[in-house]
Structure 1
């Protein structure tokens, strides 16, 4: 099985692990490109979703929504990587900008301003190692410490490697979009040295071609492996974070499962909006009241979950929730689903037409729901696409309730 790689860092660093020579044994399952570590570990940024959707650049939107919603830690758990490669170039090149409540976003404003939502952000001040060295390093070391604690708690078997190469920095110098390059190169080296010495993290360094990268990475992760021929590296065992000592299986991949803060991280894809009079939230229960148009569709989808799965490398997850139907027979008979899932190739799509896979098997009658009674549903779902969204769904005019939504990695020995 391929070794799963999660990359946080420069987009220029992608090329060495995309070529055919390495794709046989390394697969990139998730990336946070051109995102600073400080932003990665920050809390979410409030933004205008309607303005965000007006953006025409899908690649930019895909990157920007991660900056806004801070899905990095959730995606780390979801993708459960064998290897995490940290590249601090984005911290050195861009720095961060802070909003009025103290949350950070990578200060790539020349690029982000293209999206209409970015212009409406309420930002306070910017921090960059070139101008506020001590302050920025303090922010950065704090973010790194938080990340390392997180990894130790949830992904203790994931190997963390630093990208010490300076190809991205040198490319920016050639392109003329970097000031005081010598100083910033020194800062990048200092960040790598601090991270390496403080947390005993190996560094990939030097001028690498694609083969050098694969060999160095493998030697660092598996130091006891003596064969340097990259074509034979695929025989190395895959680390899957299946140790009972970690907490990866305790993490709920559904962000905001109680629909708080006006259903933050949820997307309405039906006819009934979340702020409609039919919708109520009571003690963590989502209540959809009856006496509405029986043909009106209610459907919410969660934030995208970057599982990093594929048909060749499927991932099993445990989906569970409690559901209550006042009158099971008032649910639309030919579309009596009460919970659905959709799998996508990207983190922006939500429509049924864009889904590469669909989960339409949670039907009220097949689940043996009884009118007027709660029922707990537990299902194992197999994901074969990079991104997954799940959520409540119903068509009909009876009262429905959902609570205790959960999506977690499936552990076979838990059955």
Structure 2
């Protein structure tokens, strides 16, 4: 049991480390994307989307795509949970079949969409020199879509405990301390890696409160955050609306008046076509003429920040275009909806959501099991104290645990 608790903790730190690496990689990608050399290549290219896709693949090869070191490390930590499931055989009797291939099946990037009916899958950030709507074949817009890697925690479904608990048995082992000892070396290394970057430190610092909120009983038994994983792992999956960061100014072209176009696919629930989202600056002016909230002209990094807000903390923001060039909706969809980078596979998304629920159930079961053992140990101590209080001359003596022989 202690090994499984430690493995769950390590998996969550690996997920945080993976997401921190993704964010750092995307910052580097935007910088290269906005370089003069790549802008010139885009202007000279006949197949602009082909060049853009190849550039994106090359830059993300070691993160979200197959054989990436960061991705493989994270998936290995997820797979460890399945390998160690034998310690929770009774509790995981129903859940284990779902988790056997979870890491492989749900470790590939897929298009992330908002959870609401008629939800969003694409953000129209701004347009280039022609005042044409996104769905016009001759338009050039900067778009934003979001990739999710379910096995990295991109899809987290609130799991409902089924009411069962592992029986604590007669063991008096301090499971929390044992779990810490089992995984201490690896956990310390993972924490140190996360704390090397500002993004990693923020992920650790910002998630502790949510972890305690989601598992109050467990952390009430297992002590302070210094002893336990400092990372949140039941964060909300909902995509956030884009935040307004622009200020009014004189435009050099007339404002657009467009209807947000629909996607050519349905959401995971099969309800209706997914929609394109607009933000406050989508129809105001060309990308290079937009102003930010701090009074400077909009840069590609500013647009990337809006894209990151749209995608939320658990998804990978993919900006398609820069302040210097853009694409029409058909071209953007060719990258975001079905491409060599990510796909829109409704059946796979549904399956991963089901398996994510099972994974959360495993985590909750581990927490409940640890809490049960701690509760039993507390009951033992309370009973011992009560008995000692009733025996004259023993109430002030220090407690000593003894091993009792069986009288035959």
TM-score (norm 1): 0.22
Q: Which has the higher contact order (CA 8 A, sep 6+)?
A: 2
Instruction: Report which of the two structures shows the higher radius of gyration computed on alpha carbons.
Output: 2
- Higher strand content, 1 or 2: 1
TM-score (norm 2): 0.22
